[in-house]
Structure 1
Amino acid sequence: MKPGLQALCRIMLLVVTFMLFIHTAAAYTTIESGDTVVIDDVIDDDVIVAGGNVIIEGTVNGDVVVAGGTVNVKGTIEEDLIVAAGDVTISGTVGDDVRVASGTLTIDGSVQDDVISFTGETILADTGNIGGDLSAGSGKITILGDVVGNVEASAKEIDIEGNIGGNAELNAEKITISPDASIAGNLEYRSRSETKIEEGVVGNNIQYYEMEYHDNGRIVSSLISGLISYLALVLIGLIGLAIWPEYMENIAAKTSESPGMAFLTGLLVLIVASILAILLFVTIIGIPLGLIMMVTLFVMLYVARIIASIWIGRHLLSKMGKSTRTMNEMAFGLLVLLIVSAIPIIGGLIYLAATLIPIGNIYMAARN
């Protein structure tokens, strides 16, 4: 397997492992607000935050899950940080792992364990520190600070000027390694051309592989896109479970009761609602209602997949003799659903069924 793809597979493995064993605490503290959410006190619990602008200035003695436009961590998070956002800045301290899907990630503070990032750009500033490993899939990756462990990175451009305490596996069209940089272990990299590396920068062996970037780049982009979609759906599912836990579990439990009837009902609901929305758009007075109906359908499609994932995860994990929490079942089931849906023809049919059956059950539950 090519080093770049191998690195991405390891990233996927880390994400899957994390999602399967995501947490065992009893409950989350859910914080909801308008455009801006500010946490400036001490919270002795896990937190889910959703907002356009999220600022964490206080201390959270647990995990933090964030979905927002911009996220700025200035304070302290004692456990994991999980983020899906436009821009993320960590200038404070995260006591455990960081998982990020965002446009940009800037770390100029301290992360005491591993960082996994799927971003447009990842920047470890000269004041930043990662106490574990860095696994990154980005458009551009810049390492100016210190990484205590290993680095596995795939990008279009990688620039290393800081210190890496372990091995480095790099995959990029352009790789720049400063004479002031330091890689204590082995360096294995794949690029379109060899990179000039000053003597003494790499502590052990250097291995170069020539890369056909365009072919590999499309594969890398597809994998990163798929992983970002997966993380985004998991975050949507976590928020849904925090707001409607009993409702989503009850609908998921109905999946195996009358799947044929639910499928046909869901198909009928989707067709009728789409036709009604189009007819409403024809009349000026009906446009607002048509927009509301289209947004409702859009949300329902996502919620349906989350509900199907709960049932799939619960069913498969019970067959494996594992008993786990609903959020773990959802994360595992969603992963299985996305992988299966990639199979030509059959995967599309399964994905369609996993969408329409929950919609049918939602409609029948509402009607009753």
Structure 2
Amino acid sequence: MKMSLQALCKIMLLAVTFMLFCHTAAAYTTIEGGDTIVIDDVIDDDIIVAGRTIIIEGTVNGDVVAAGGTVEVKGTIEQDLIVAAGDVTISGTVGDDVRVASGTLTIYGDVQDDVLSATGKTTLADGGYIGGDLSAASGKVTILGDIDGNIEASAEEIDLQGNIGGDADLNAEKISISSEASIDGNLEYRSKSETKIEEGTVGNNVQYTKMEYRDNGGIVSSLLSGLISYLGLVLIGLIGLAIWPEYMKNIAAKTSKSPGKAFLTGLLVLILAFIIAFLLFVTIIGIPLGLIMLITLVVMLYVSRIIASIWIGRYLLDKMGKSSRTMNEMAFGLLVLLLVSAIPIIGGLVYLAATLIPFGNIYMTARN
């Protein structure tokens, strides 16, 4: 559960970090659409594309930054692919690095350089190829294809059946290494119990470290952490309702209107806000303004969760035929949101949506 949530929480950090080191936002051609966007021709530029379903069947002679529900790469991307989505499938070719934060990542095709994934599930299918290193933080990692470089993976479960050209550093509760697998370098792994490894599977040294699990302490710690998070958010919510009562209620009412558009808007605004803040820090003179911007951004993300909680609480209480004050709706909705967010993979996606949809609505309301 923790690993899946951690992976989902990295979604913005991954996208922003690698965008900052490549180009500014002005260097990209932006493509926005509705339900489905199909790119089936040649584009000689870097692009940012956002839509519910994105299919790249043509050739992009540059970087691609994509945000959507489903992203499929069937054609060729000559440079980097940076994507935040529900499901990502690569059956074509990516000429450089891949940076993914998603529910699932499946690679059937070729990635010529490194892959960094923060996902619920990462799969390198049979016939799939990674020319560099794989760094994965996922709920489950399955390797059936070939990796020329190293693999560093942290997950709840790791299944290794393919070929690793370098070293393997694995960290999971359950690790299985097939007799068909091969690791040319060293293997270092940490798990609940030792894994059976056939002789000749690992080219060099094998080092195993036993993971220690303290179930009672873990449960108590998780409950305490959850309670503190809940009370902290309730406090923020009460302050927000005291300062902007009508504004927060009005934004909450918009949650069910065009949620897809609001989610993508929130995602893109957050990415661009981090880019602007970074550029302000680079200029030195703009550091104070950059700090103010980052602080404001963090506050607005918390406020977004409060707004989502108001909508959730009101919706559920209405379904139960009960009416209540806004602060009670908020407290009830927050409790439901935190409980749902504890569900592996799905909960993280719900929590992410509950943050970005109101954030997008806040931006669109301010713009209008």
| TM bucket, shorter chain | 0.5 to 0.7
Counterpart of 1:313? 278
Counterparts in 2 of 1:334 and 1:91: CA distance versus 1, 3 Å: farther
Q: Which residue identity lines up with residue 273 of structure 1 in the other structure?
A: Y
Count of aligned pairs between the two proteins = 278
2:245 is paired with a residue whose SS is helix
Query: Is this contact kept in 2: 1:313–1:334, CA < 8 A?
Result: no
Q: What is the Cα deviation at residue 126 of structure 1?
A: 1.3
Partner of 2:311: none
Q: Which AA in structure 2 matches 1:319? A: I
One-letter amino acid of the structure 1 residue matched with residue 143 of structure 2: I
Equivalent in the alignment of 2:305: none
Task: Output the CA distance in 2 between the equivalents of 1:90 and 1:151.
Answer: 19
Task: Indicate yes or no: 2:90 matched with 1:90.
Answer: yes
* 1:12 to 1:49, Cα distance in 2 relative to 1, 3 A: closer
Contact 1:129 1:147 in 2 (8 A): yes
Correspondence list, 1:278-293, <5 A: none
User: Aligned residue for 1:166?
Assistant: 166
SS at match of 1:172: strand
Distance 1:205 1:295 in 2: 49
Q: Which amino acid aligns with 1:73?
A: V
RMSD: 4.5
Mapped contact 1:172–1:191 kept (Cα < 8 A): yes
Instruction: Tell me, in whole angstroms, the C-alpha distance in 2 between the residues paired with 1:28 and 1:308.
Output: 16
Shift of 1:139: 0.8
Go from structure 1 to structure 2 and tell me whether the alpha carbon gap of 1:214 and 1:112 turns closer, same or farther (over 3 Å shift).
farther
Contact 1:151 1:167 in 2 (8 A): yes
- CA shift, 1:69, in A, is 1.4
For 1:273, the equivalent position in structure 2 comes to: 247
Is 1:196 the counterpart of 2:196 in the alignment?
yes
Task: Output the CA distance in 1 between the equivalents of 2:107 and 2:297.
Answer: 33
Flag the structure with more relative contact order, 1 or 2, with Cα contacts below 8 A and sequence separation at least 6: 2
| Cα drift, residue 209 of structure 1 | 0.6
Tell me the equivalent position of 1:56. 56
What secondary structure does 1:116 align onto? strand
The alpha-carbon distance between structure 1 residues 294 and 70, as it changes in their structure 2 partners (threshold 3 A), is closer
Alpha-carbon distance in 1 for matches of 2:57, 2:263: 35
1:205 aligned residue: 205
What is the aligned partner in structure 2 of residue 126 from structure 1? 126
How far apart, in 2, do the equivalents of 1:181 and 1:153 lie? 16
- Kept after mapping to 1: 8 A contact 2:68/2:264: no
C-alpha displacement of 1:20: 3.4
1:208-259: CA deviations, max 9, x gaps?
Answer: 11113578999xx9xxxxxxxxxxxxxxxxxxxxxxxxxxxxxxxxxxxxxx
Aligned equivalents of 2:123, 2:296: Cα separation in 1:
32
Q: 1:61 to 1:182 in 2, by over 3 A?
A: same
Structure 1 residue 200 displacement after superposition: 0.9
1:210-289, aligned counterparts within 5 Å?
210-213=210-213, 270-274=244-248
- The answer to whether the aligner puts 1:102 opposite 2:76 as a matched pair is no
Shift of 1:135: 0.3
Which amino acid counterpart does residue 161 of structure 2 have in structure 1?
E
Paired with 2:74 and 2:98, the residues of 1 have a C-alpha distance of 14
Deviation digits for residues 251-297 of structure 1 (CA, Å, limit 9, x no counterpart) = xxxxxxxxxxxxxxx9988333135678xx7xxxxxxx796699999
Whole-Å Cα distance in 2 between the matches of residues 60 and 194 of structure 1? 45
- Counterpart of 2:8 in structure 1 is none
Q: Is the 8 A contact 1:277 1:293 kept in 2?
A: no
Unaligned runs of 5+ in 1: 1-10, 222-265, 282-288, 323-328, 343-355
2:51 and 2:69 in contact (8 A); partners too: yes
Question: Aligned partners of 1:296 and 1:33: how far apart in 2?
Answer: 9
Instruction: Provide the residue aligned with 1:139 in structure 2.
Output: 139
- TM superposition shift of 1:23: 2.2
Q: What is the alpha-carbon distance in structure 1 between the residues aligned to residue 202 and residue 189 of structure 2?
A: 12
Indicate the SS of the match to 1:273.
Answer: helix
Give the match's secondary structure for 1:313.
helix
Partner of 2:117: 117
Structure 1 position 164, deviation (Å): 0.5
In the TM superposition, residue 319 of structure 1 has moved relative to its aligned partner by 2.4
Counterpart amino acid of 2:282? Answer: L
**TM-score scaled to structure 1, two decimals?**
0.62
Closer/same/farther in 2, CA of residues 297 and 86 from structure 1, 3 Å limit:
closer
Question: Offset of 1:189 from its aligned partner?
Answer: 0.4
Counterpart residue number, 1:22 = 22
Displacement, 1:141? 0.5
Matched residue type, 1:180: E
Residues of 1 paired with 2:147 and 2:218: CA distance? Answer: 25
1:316 partner SS:
helix
Q: How many Å separate the matches in 2 of 1:95 and 1:304? A: 28
- 2 CA distance for matches of 1:293 and 1:122? 30
